[in-house]
Copies of this chain bind each other. A is one copy, B any other.
Amino acid sequence: MKIALAQLNYHIGNFSSNVQKMIRSIREAENSGADLVVFAELGISGYPPRDFLEFDDFINRCHLALEDIAPHCKKVAAIVGVPTYNKDGKGKPLYNSAAFIANGKVQKFIHKSLLPNYDVFDEYRYFEPNKRFEIIEFQDRKIALTICEDLWNVQDNPLYTVNPMDELMALKPDLMINIAASPFNYHQIEIRTEILRRNAEKYKLPLFYVNHVGAQTELIFDGGSLVMNAKGEIMEELKYFDEDLKIVEVDDIQNGKASTQNEKKLVIGMIHDALVMGIRNYFEKLGFKKAIIGLSGGIDSALTAALASEALGPENVYNVLMPSEFSSAHSVKDAIELAENLQMPYDKISIEEAYSAFESTLKPYFQNLPFNIAEENIQARIRGVLLMALSNKFGYILLNTSNKSEAAVGYSTLYGDMNGGLSVLGDVYKTQVFELAQYINREKEVIPHHIITKPPSAELRPDQKDTDSLPEYDILDEILYQYIEKRLGPKEIIAMGFEEKLVQRILKLVNTSEYKRYQTPPILRVSSKAFGMGRRMPIVGKYLS
Which residues of A are in contact with B by a Cβ distance under 8 Å? 11-14, 17, 46, 48-52, 54-58, 60-61, 89-92, 117-118, 122, 124-125, 157-161, 215-217, 281-282, 285-286, 347, 349-351, 353-354, 356-358, 360-362, 365-366, 369, 372-375, 377-378, 381-382, 384-386, 388-390, 392-393, 414-415, 419, 421, 487-492, 515, 518-522, 533, 535-545
Contacts and interface: CB of A to CB of B under 8 A. Distances in A.
Nearest to A532: B518
In order of increasing CB-CB distance, the 4 nearest A-B pairs are A57-B489, A13-B543, A14-B542, A357-B357
A354 B350 contact: no
B369 A378 contact: no
A161 B415 contact: no
A378 B282 CA distance: 26
A538 B382 CA distance: 30
A48 B117 contact: no
Given A52-B541, A159-B91, A217-B540, A414 B393 contact: no
A322 to B, nearest CB: 10
Contacts of A52: 537-538, 541, 543
A357 B353 CA distance: 6
Given A92-B159, A381-B384, A389 B358 contact: yes
A536 B54 CA distance: 10
Contacts of A285: 540, 542
B12 A542 contact: yes
Nearest to A518: B522
B390 A385 contact: no
A158 B389 CA distance: 51
A523 to B, nearest CB: 11
A284 to B, nearest CB: 9
Nearest to A16: B542
A217 B539 CA distance: 6
Contacts of A491: 57
Contacts of A389: 358, 362, 374-375, 377-378, 381
Contacts of A386: 358, 361-362
28 contacts: A11-B542, A12-B543, A52-B537, A56-B489, A57-B489, A57-B491, A57-B492, A58-B543, A60-B489, A90-B159, A91-B161, A118-B125, A122-B122, A125-B536, A215-B540, A217-B538, A286-B539, A349-B361, A349-B365, A354-B354, A354-B357, A362-B389, A372-B392, A381-B415, A385-B415, A414-B419, A415-B415, A519-B520
